[in-house]
């Protein structure tokens, strides 16, 4: 067994989990705004967690597995590689007071502080980087599921295998992850992630509009980083509180009813579309902050029960507070460190992830951005890491 700390950078909170083997032995949660304002609060919690064999740091849009001591410039790595966000764009969002940009600022600060601790810190892939996803599904895609969504799927593979007493190779499900900012739908077949629609590819999350009609993109002219946090249910309902959103739905508020219906219908469409990649899922597993609400769970069950039995993703033994993604982060770290999850890390081929999240971008307008990302790797990582992952 190994002792691992996982850190999930959520839009609302940073959740921290320590696993010792398969059991959660410590957990904590900090509002994201507090981490953005004072990164020392996160470091204090990391120190409170005690000695661990590995820390899996917040990994944003993902990277092949790299270690803190392989970084030449941790802050630039966090911004340009993990967040795909130039410093100027981050600062503009902070000045504007955008509610979604706080997690970006907090993540960048967290990575810099974690690496400075001198402890064994690593960063993990997102779905598009996995060799288990066929290349034709990656074409023109970047957000097939961020690192935190991959972490949830990892936890879900373990959960189904344990609960049904089956081997990893027999696991199959479609995962619906509904967070405060984004939704995601991930396909798992034979115990491996084979497809995914991340938060900017699943239409209408609580904060985000998700993918937009290209004609609308052209009509909008210049877009900025913080635009990804707008156009979702919250904006159309006029509230950033999911509880108030549901109250308005029950009260028959027309704009809110339509927005809620759009979100739930798009989740259903995304799941049914995923059946082209996972043709006989044993289950539809649901997780995330929004699925804590009974009305949303009931609606998912109503819409999806004919696809497969709908179940709430289980937690690791001992977990009471932290979200699923943080538990998944910690479990991946425990496996990377050679513990009980090492078999699942090997099965999911996480350590075989290669390249950058933009390697499958082919649109002429995006080639400059693709090259810039590769240059960011070159500037922020030591040569031995570049040789291994690119």
What is the structure's pLDDT at 218?
A: 95
Domain boundaries of the chain, sorted by first residue:
3-389
Token pair of 133, please?
């996803």
User: Which has the closest alpha carbon to 138: 146, 150, 130?
Assistant: 130
Q: Which fold has domain 3-389?
A: Nucleotidyltransferase; domain 5 (3.30.420)
Q: For 340-390, write each residue's pLDDT tens digit.
A: 999 999 999 999 999 999 999 999 999 999 999 999 999 999 999 999 999
Token pair of 367, please?
């080639």
Token pair of 284, please?
């539809």
Question: Which sign, positive or negative, has the C-alpha torsion 367, 368, 371, 377?
Answer: negative
Residues 6+ positions from 293 with CB-CB distance below 8 Å:
242, 243, 246
- Kindly calculate the radius of gyration of the chain based on its CA atoms and give it in whole angstroms: 19
Q: For 212-226, write each residue's pLDDT tens digit.
A: 999 999 999 999 888
Would you say the pTM of this structure is higher than 0.85? Answer: yes
Q: Mean pLDDT check: name the lowest of 83-92, 215-224, 330-339.
A: 83-92
Instruction: Please say whether the beta carbons of 361 and 76 come within 8 A.
Output: no
User: Which has the closest alpha carbon to 113: 192, 61, 58, 152?
Assistant: 58
CA distance 92 to 252: 37
What is the structure's pLDDT at 202?
A: 94
What is the structure's pLDDT at 128?
A: 98
Query: Up-side HSE of residue 315: CA atoms within 13 Å toward CB?
Result: 15
Q: For 111-160, write each residue's pLDDT tens digit.
A: 988 998 888 999 999 999 999 999 999 999 999 999 999 999 999 999 99
Predicted confidence (pLDDT) at residue 97 exceeds the cutoff of 80: no
Predicted confidence (pLDDT) at residue 264 exceeds the cutoff of 90: yes
pLDDT band at 99 (very low <50, low <70, confident <90, very high): low
| Range 283-300 average pLDDT | 97
CA distance 10 to 31: 9
Q: Mean pLDDT check: name the lowest of 64-68, 108-112, 155-159, 248-252.
A: 108-112
């Amino acid at each position: 067994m190994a002792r691992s700390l996982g850190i999930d950078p959520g839009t609302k909170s940073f959740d921290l989990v320590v696993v010792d083997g398969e059991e959660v032995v410590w957990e904590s949660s900090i509002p994201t705004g507090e981490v953005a304002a004072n990164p020392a609060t996160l470091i204090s919690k990391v120190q409170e967690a005690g000695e661990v064999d590995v820390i899996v740091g917040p990994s944003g849009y993902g990277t092949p597995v790299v270690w803190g001591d392989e970084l030449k410039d941790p802050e630039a790595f966090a911004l340009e590689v993990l967040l795909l966000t130039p410093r100027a764009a981050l600062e503009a969002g902070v000045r504007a007071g955008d509610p979604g940009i706080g997690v970006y600022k907090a993540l960048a600060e967290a990575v810099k502080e974690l690496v400075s601790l001198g402890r064994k810190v690593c960063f993990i892939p997102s779905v598009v980087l996995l060799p288990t996803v066929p290349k034709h599904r990656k074409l023109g895609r970047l957000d097939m599921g961020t690192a935190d969504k991959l972490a949830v799927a990892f936890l879900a593979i373990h959960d189904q295998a344990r609960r049904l007493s089956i081997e990893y190779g027999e696991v199959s499900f479609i995962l619906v992850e509904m967070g405060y900012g984004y939704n995601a739908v991930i396909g798992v077949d034979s115990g491996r992630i084979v497809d995914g629609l991340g938060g900017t590819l699943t239409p209408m999350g609580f904060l985000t509009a998700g993918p937009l009609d290209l004609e609308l993109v052209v009509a909008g002219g210049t877009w900025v980083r913080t635009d990804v946090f707008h156009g979702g249910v919250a904006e159309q309902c006029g509230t950033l509180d999911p509880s108030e959103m549901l109250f308005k739905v029950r009260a028959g508020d027309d704009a809110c009813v339509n927005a809620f219906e759009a979100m739930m219908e798009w989740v259903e469409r995304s799941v049914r579309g995923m059946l082209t990649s996972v043709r006989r899922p044993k289950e539809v597993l649901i997780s995330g902050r929004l699925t804590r609400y009974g009305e949303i769970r009931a609606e998912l069950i109503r819409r999806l029960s004919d696809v497969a039995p709908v179940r709430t993703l289980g937690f690791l033994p001992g977990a009471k507070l932290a979200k699923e993604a943080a538990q998944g982060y910690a479990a991946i770290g425990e496996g990377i460190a050679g513990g009980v999850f090492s078999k699942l890390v090997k099965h999911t081929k996480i350590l075989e992830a290669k390249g950058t999240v933009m390697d499958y971008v082919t649109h002429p307008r995006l080639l400059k951005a693709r090259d810039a990302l590769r240059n960011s790797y070159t500037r922020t990582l030591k040569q031995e890491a570049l040789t291994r992952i690119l």
